[in-house]
Amino acid sequence: MQESNSHFMSDINVTPLVDVMLVLLIIFMVTAPMMMQGVSVSLPQTTSKPLPAEKEHLIITVDRSQQIYINDYKVALEALQAKLKKIFEGRSDQKVYLRADKTVPYGVVVRVMSEVKNAGVEKLGMVTDPLKEIGKKR
């Protein structure tokens, strides 16, 4: 018999590992924007300055189908006042921000505002998008 001088290669082949990692990176980069959570609304635009956010506040959202959400949790209009009273039982900071889609009728927004005020909320802020400049006048 002939004795072979070949040695076993004990190095790890990293090329397939790098290929798999690059594919996973691309998949995560593509799918990450789709994983955004929250309620999608088209906010009205104004020229006011943004308020500084010192901490996360309670946000009530009315989407274009007139569904009402407290942060990301769906609530019926009839139950909104009771839920807010329960939330603010032990809190000293009673601020609420209202986000309403610009296509929602004014009457629906006013009814939501009325329920919020009847729940004992002291400060109610409106959330808007900044107005985009169309063109500068000369």
Q: Residue 25 is inside which H or E element, if any?
A: helix 15-31
Buried/exposed 83-96: b ≥16 CB within 10 Å, e otherwise: bbeebbeeeeebeb
| This prediction's pTM | 0.56
Note the CATH number of domain 45-130. Answer: 3.30.420.270
Domains in the chain: boundaries: 45-130
Residue 21: the pLDDT is: 92
The token duo for 66 is 């007139």
Helix (H), strand (E) at residue 28: helix 15-31
Task: Give the mean model confidence (pLDDT) for residues 108-128.
Answer: 87
- Asked whether residue 1 carries a pLDDT value surpassing 60, the answer given is no
Segment 66-93, tens digit of pLDDT: 899 988 889 998 988 888 888 888 777 7
49-64 pLDDT per residue, tens: 555 555 667 889 999 8
Instruction: Give the mean pLDDT of the chain.
Output: 79
Q: For residue 100, is pLDDT > 80? A: yes
